Amino acid sequence: MQPSSLRTFSPQQPSLSTQRKIPGPPGLPWLGQLPAFLRTKFFPKQMLKWAEEYDGVYRMEIVGRKYVVVADPALMAPIMGRGCPGLPKSEGYAMWDPVISPHPGVQGIVTVSENTEIWRTVRRSYGPAMGLASLGRYYPVILRCVATLGDYLTAAPSAPSAPSTSASPSLAATASSTPPRPAAALASPVRTPPLSPPPPPSPAGGSPPPSLEINRLLKSLSLDMLGLTAFGVDFGCLRVPEQAALGHNLERAMEEAGARGRNPARRLLPWLFEGEVREGQAAMDAYHAAVEAVWRDIQSRGPPADDDTSFAAQLARLADPALGSSALSDAQICAEIATVMVAGYETTANTMTWLLFALHAYPEAAARLEEELRLAGLIPSDAELDGAGGVGDPSLDAFLSLPGGHEAISSLPYLDAFVREGLRLFSVAPNGAVKRVPEGGPPARIGPYDVEPGTTVWVPFWSVHLSERNWERPLEFEPERWMNQNPRTGFPTTTTTTTTATSRCPVFAAVGAFRAAAEGGDDAAFSVGRNASSSSSSSSSSSSSSGNSSSNSSNSGSGLSSSKATRYMPFSDGSRNCVGQHLGMLQIKVVLSYLVSRFRVRLDEQRMGGVARTLERQRVNLTLEVAGGMWMLLEPRSRWG
Ligand code: HEM
């Protein structure tokens, strides 16, 4: 089947169809497709199979609940809220609330269903802290963290939070303007973290590097980066093993909340589950204590300076009593801190993990990336390594002396393509976005369909990113495909050949007409019934509210410039897209390029059973990970590491 970007559809006005006309897999009465979900080990694959079978839109029912699943790029806008308010999020997100806050009813911006006034206020305030213009302030902090990981991996003296005793003379220059705070009492350890011990120093040309569970290390790195960039707090997860308990508590808390969401008996009859629920609750309590400690730390700094638009400063402003009734309470601010940690922790760490895996699994792409980094001067030459005389970190120096700094790194074309392709093939949020058509209102119009109130509308990113109807060779890792693709929509930046769609029935013909309209940017095709005449949250729905102005403007110059179709949404899309996407991308690019600069990265084939076996071990709680961790060998490029 051809990718939809290559199709032409007749632009006839489609006739509306009811939800019942949407095809879907057979299911049992009331249970619906539940047995199929329970049978499958990795349900994103099952959903992808159905997306292929039913041409991108299908209907499901699970325990009496109605779902419409959409993987068709042309139908996304009215769901996600691109150029229109979009649908509210499913109330199902509330299952994560016990992690976000110990206070019933207090939510963070990621779980709140409607785009409420608080959501708008918070989101708007994050703009200056998380937008592209703010990235410069975070770059040295990110470098500091990744250099600490590099030192840890080579068992060199770890890069401390006090730059003066740094292993690298140039690390001192990376001190941020806001000095990081020590993390005393932040972690409240509940579980002992099984961090891989640092490998013993390897003599030059000596024995092969030891195997390391890299995902755990990258999770610690991710928390350290979040702590320093977002809150100005040094969690020290990489340096101080006990501090890594913060990540463990967060994961355990998420696991417990997920288990309670799937099985309400766990909440109602906790004694049935022996110590598990108690242990899960203890992890949640410890996590909340850590979050409160972060907030106390931010408060202890006093009112932020006028020109301070850091994330911590913006949080402090949200709580300013001068805002009167609009000021957020301590509980609400803590919920926002907890939210940002939930949202930015595993997503970033697991993406970095899959990208390191990609270096091994796709050696040609890895070689091209290495070549680009070498040409940019980011992989020190042998002469530079020898000249370093074993002092400091030549890789870090190369990054620090790169003209253009973080902007130069962000715009390396192959690195960008490599990361984007990784975010597609290893969709770290495979479940995607889950929305709903509100009860008691009109149906939502999605493409040619009227979708009934009370229906859950599910956009699984795994299906969107890996469907054969959306992409050519979707299961191949081809960074090259990004060389002429709009980074936001995933569609080619030049108009390409077109073919005729196969229409299996009149409903599909109607869908086809909507696709044509989507690719032509016909707004009329995207009105969502319930909101067509409402302006309720439209003012805040554009990504500019998060300072993501470049996201929208990146369409310009594209052959699909006015298009609302999108087949690429690792950071979601529309009004509820990711606030931290620019920061996340920068972290990922710096970490990946730094590790390539300093190490040769290989999978521990023996332990992981090879590339295919590793892929078979993909699993998902909230994010895509590998069961049992990712064991890898990182061989220093030189004896200095
Ligand atoms: C590779 C890294 C990341 C990926 C792939 C990612 C992906 C996503 C996705 C898919 C959503 C939408 C979730 C949903 O609607 O169910 C989201 C929302 C969000 N993300 Fe990220 N994220 C990443 C990093 C970060 C970072 C580093 C931060 C913060 C520092 C962050 C903060 C948020 C917040 C606050 C939201 C909620 C926005 C709202 O609902 O208005 N994310 N992210």
- The reply to whether ligand 1 has any atom less than 6 angstroms from the CB of 167 is no
pLDDT for residue 425 is more than 50 = yes
In this structure, of 98-107, 236-245, 278-287, 584-593, the range with the lowest mean pLDDT score is 236-245
- The reply to whether ligand 1 has any atom less than 6 angstroms from the CB of 134 is no
pLDDT for residue 12 is more than 60 = no
- The reply to whether ligand 1 has any atom less than 6 angstroms from the CB of 579 is yes
pLDDT for residue 193 is more than 60 = no
DSSP 494-514: S----EEPP-SSHHHHHHHHH
User: pLDDT of 479-519, one tens digit each?
Assistant: 999 988 888 888 877 644 333 333 333 444 444 554 555 44
Q: What is the pLDDT of residue 239?
A: 85
Which atom in ligand 1 lies closest to the alpha carbon of residue 93? Answer: 16
User: pLDDT of 178-188, one tens digit each?
Assistant: 444 444 444 44
Identify the H or E element spanning 311. helix 311-318
**Residue 334 in tokens:** 């803590």
Q: What is the pLDDT of residue 498?
A: 33
Residue nearest to atom 12 of ligand 1 (CA): 572
Q: What is the pLDDT of residue 541?
A: 32
User: pLDDT of 529-579, one tens digit each?
Assistant: 222 223 333 333 333 333 333 333 332 222 223 357 889 999 999 999 999
Cβ-contact 176, 141 below 8 angstroms: yes
Q: What is the pLDDT of residue 613?
A: 97
Closest CA to 576 of 421, 428, 429, 435: 435
Pairing type for strands 211-213 and 456-459 reads unpaired
Which atom in ligand 1 lies closest to the alpha carbon of residue 229? Answer: 30
What is the residue type of 118? I
Beta strands in 35-97 (DSSP E): 57-62, 65-70
DSSP 282-295: HHHHHHHHHHHHHH
Residue nearest to atom 37 of ligand 1 (CA): 110
**Rounded-to-integer distance, Cα 547 and Cα 124, Å:** 8
**Beta-carbon neighbour count of residue 540 at 10 Å?**
19
CA angle 147, 152, 153 (to 5 degrees): 100
SS3 content of the chain, % helix, strand, coil (to 5): 50, 10, 40
Q: What is the pLDDT of residue 491?
A: 85
**Rounded-to-integer distance, Cα 565 and Cα 287, Å:** 39
- The reply to whether ligand 1 has any atom less than 6 angstroms from the CB of 339 is yes
Mean pLDDT for the stretch of residues 23-43:
90
DSSP 413-472: HHHHHHHHHHHHHT-SSTT-EEEE--TTSPPEEETTEEEPTT-EEEE-HHHHHH-TTTSS
**Rounded-to-integer distance, Cα 149 and Cα 353, Å:** 14
Burial of 283 (0-12, 13-18, 19+ CB in 10 A): buried
Q: What is the pLDDT of residue 387?
A: 63
pLDDT for residue 419 is more than 80 = yes
Provide the percentage of residues in the chain whose pLDDT is more than 70.
77
User: Probe ligand 1: pick from 581, 590, 623, max atoms within 8 Å of CB?
Assistant: 581
Greatest CA separation found in the chain?
A: 74
pLDDT for residue 230 is more than 70 = yes
Closest CA to 63 of 456, 431, 458, 461: 456
What is the residue type of 348? T
Beta bridge partners of 499: 7
**Beta-carbon neighbour count of residue 550 at 10 Å?**
15
Q: What is the pLDDT of residue 355?
A: 98
**Rounded-to-integer distance, Cα 130 and Cα 139, Å:** 13
Beta bridge partners of 7: 499
- The reply to whether ligand 1 has any atom less than 6 angstroms from the CB of 100 is no
- The reply to whether ligand 1 has any atom less than 6 angstroms from the CB of 622 is no
Complex ipTM more than 0.85, yes or no: yes
Provide the percentage of residues in the chain whose pLDDT is more than 90.
59
**Rounded-to-integer distance, Cα 216 and Cα 628, Å:** 10
**Residue 267 in tokens:** 């909440």
**Rounded-to-integer distance, Cα 434 and Cα 87, Å:** 9
Which atom in ligand 1 lies closest to the alpha carbon of residue 428? Answer: 5
Mean pLDDT for the stretch of residues 164-189:
37
Beta bridge partners of 181: 233
Distance 342 CA to ligand 1 centre (A): 9
Q: Which residue has the higher pLDDT, 241 or 140?
A: 140
Most confident of 18-32, 145-159, 206-220, 350-364: 350-364
Closest CA to 182 of 26, 257, 294: 294
9 confidence band (pLDDT: 50, 70, 90): very low
**Rounded-to-integer distance, Cα 441 and Cα 102, Å:** 32
Mean pLDDT for the stretch of residues 366-384:
90
Helices (H), 521-609: 549-553, 581-598, 605-608
φ/ψ of 634, rounded to 5, equals -115, 105
**Rounded-to-integer distance, Cα 14 and Cα 23, Å:** 17
Cβ-based neighbours of 403, under 8 Å, separated by 6 or more: none
Torsion angle (degrees, nearest 10) of CA 160, 164, 168, 174:
80
**Rounded-to-integer distance, Cα 158 and Cα 505, Å:** 64
421 confidence band (pLDDT: 50, 70, 90): very high
User: Probe ligand 1: pick from 347, 352, 548, 622, max atoms within 8 Å of CB?
Assistant: 347
51 SS3 class:
helix
User: pLDDT of 291-312, one tens digit each?
Assistant: 999 999 999 999 999 999 999 9
**Rounded-to-integer distance, Cα 457 and Cα 450, Å:** 12
The per-residue pLDDT of the chain, averaged, comes to 80
Residue nearest to atom 31 of ligand 1 (CA): 580
Pairing type for strands 17-18 and 449-451 reads parallel
Q: What is the pLDDT of residue 266?
A: 85
Helices (H), 322-393: 330-361, 363-375, 382-387
Q: Which residue has the higher pLDDT, 512 or 352?
A: 352
The single residue listed with the structure tokens 């019934």 is 529
The single residue listed with the structure tokens 């005449």 is 533
Q: Which residue has the higher pLDDT, 264 or 542?
A: 264
